[in-house]
Amino acid sequence: MNKTINQKAWFFVIPVFILVAFNAIIPLMTVVNYAFQETFGNNVFMWEGTRWFKQIMLSERFHASLGRQFLFTFIILFIQIPLGIAIALSMPKEGIGVPVCLVLMSMPLLIPWNVVGAMWNIFALPDIGFLGHSLNALGFDYNFTQQIGDAWFTTILMDVWHWTSLVVLLSYAGLQSIQPAYYQAAEIDGASRWAVFTKIELPKMKKVLTIAILLRFMDSFMIYTEPFVLTGGGPGNATAFLSIDLVKMALGQFDLGPAAAMSLIYFFIVLLVCWVFYTLMMRNEGNQ
């Protein structure tokens, strides 16, 4: 769409700008403040320069939690995106099935995150939980509070349960916007199911899928509450993702300097990845 140049449009943006700046810039300045200084309380600060940043960048603990974070995000994207597309493809296109599917599938999205964690905790407990009990009855030695592999399996399964529906909803909406004429044309040409998928459906879903990947990347990268309630980061530190590690450092040990430096590095990584996505997305929009 051709946009008119109008500097007065800033007046429309001002309320949003003030509200977000109030929440973003002032607290961010506090973080920056801590990141470069050492404090012993009583508002006494000493300049520390980049010491905290060096300390974090070189610490094994940070490397480990960052590695776990990337592994986790990669696995859940790898499962949720294809699964979401597959489910959206096989959903009914009209009739009573549509609202039923949509309402039931949206349910996990609207459950508070700590309830999701608590629910999965109860569900996966080896003695009284359905999942844990069934797996043990089938002969698996399953205990997510003791074994690292089981803890990862449960956390990933929980995230798949929690968020695949978002991908489904977005993909479904993308599919709905395809005109029936495209399918008719494909049928006349005798196109295979696979060709219909790669040549018609996938290109039409490209935009929503970018949004889905972006949202899933951001949210899984900041995941905190669900694994915290489910495993508490354990066993050991096996499921201590970045946010969990950060909160432990900031509020548990009150190492404000290193925690602030870690926050900034953390934020910077998210920003970088999202900037790449965003640029790619905008380029796509420009092409159309």
Partner 1 sequence: MKKAKWIVPTVYIIFLMLPIYWLLNMSFKTTTEIINTYTLWPQEFTFDNYKKIFTDSTWYTGYLNSIYYVVMNTVISVAAALPAAYAFSRYKFLGDKHLFFWLLTNRMAPPAVFALPFFQFYSSVNLFDTHVAVALSHCLFNIPLAVWILEGFMSAVPKELDETAYVDGYSFWRFFFKIFIPTITAGIGITMFFCFMFSWVELLLAKTLTAVAAKPIAATMTRTASTSGYELGLLAAAGSLTIIPGAIVIYFVRNYIAKGFALGRV
Return the residues of window 130-189 that contact partner 1 according to CB under 8 A.
130-131, 133, 161, 164-165, 168-170, 172-174, 176-177
Residue in 64, 77, 79, 87 binding partner 1, rule: CB under 8 A: 87
Tokens of 280: 């790619």
Residue 231 CA to residue 151 CA, distance in Å, equals 7
Residue 137 CA to residue 132 CA, distance in Å, equals 8
At its nearest, how many Å lie between partner 1 and the CB of residue 119?
A: 5
Q: Which residues contact 85 (CB under 8 A, 6 or more apart)?
A: 167, 171, 205, 209
Peptide linkage before 235 cis (omega within 30 of 0): yes
* Ranges within 219-238 binding partner 1 (CB under 8 A): 221-222, 224-225, 229
> Are the C-beta atoms of 144 and 137 separated by less than 8 Å?
no
CB atoms near residue 141 (< 10 Å): 10
Q: For residue 37, what is the enclosing H or E element? A: strand 37-39
| Of residues 49 and 286, the one with the C-beta less far from partner 1 | 286
Binding of partner 1 by 250 (CB under 8 A): yes
Q: Which residues contact 230 (CB under 8 A, 6 or more apart)?
A: 117, 120, 121, 124, 144, 154, 155, 158
| Of residues 99 and 180, the one with the C-beta less far from partner 1 | 99
- Length in residues, the chain: 288
Residue in 90, 180, 188, 286 binding partner 1, rule: CB under 8 A: 90
At its nearest, how many Å lie between partner 1 and the CB of residue 219?
A: 9
At its nearest, how many Å lie between partner 1 and the CB of residue 141?
A: 17
At its nearest, how many Å lie between partner 1 and the CB of residue 188?
A: 19
Residue in 91, 148, 186, 191 binding partner 1, rule: CB under 8 A: 91
| Of residues 94 and 189, the one with the C-beta less far from partner 1 | 94
Residue in 96, 110, 138, 181 binding partner 1, rule: CB under 8 A: 110
| Of residues 64 and 87, the one with the C-beta less far from partner 1 | 87
* Ranges within 185-214 binding partner 1 (CB under 8 A): 207-208, 211
Residue 9 DSSP label? G
Segment lying near partner 1 (by CB under 8 A), choices 38-46, 70-78, 140-148, 267-275: 267-275
Residue in 44, 107, 138, 188 binding partner 1, rule: CB under 8 A: 107
| Of residues 168 and 200, the one with the C-beta less far from partner 1 | 168
| Of residues 71 and 104, the one with the C-beta less far from partner 1 | 104
Q: Kindly list the distances between the CA atom of residue 139 and the CA atoms of 121, 187, 194, in Å, as whole numbers in the listed order.
A: 20, 48, 39
Residue 163 CA to residue 239 CA, distance in Å, equals 18
Q: Kindly list the distances between the CA atom of residue 14 and the CA atoms of 3, 17, 112, 158, in Å, as whole numbers in the listed order.
A: 19, 5, 31, 40
The site map against partner 1 for 36-75 (x = CB under 8 A) is ----------------------------------------
Q: At what angle do helices 60-89 and 202-221 cross, to 10 degrees?
A: 150
| Of residues 128 and 188, the one with the C-beta less far from partner 1 | 128
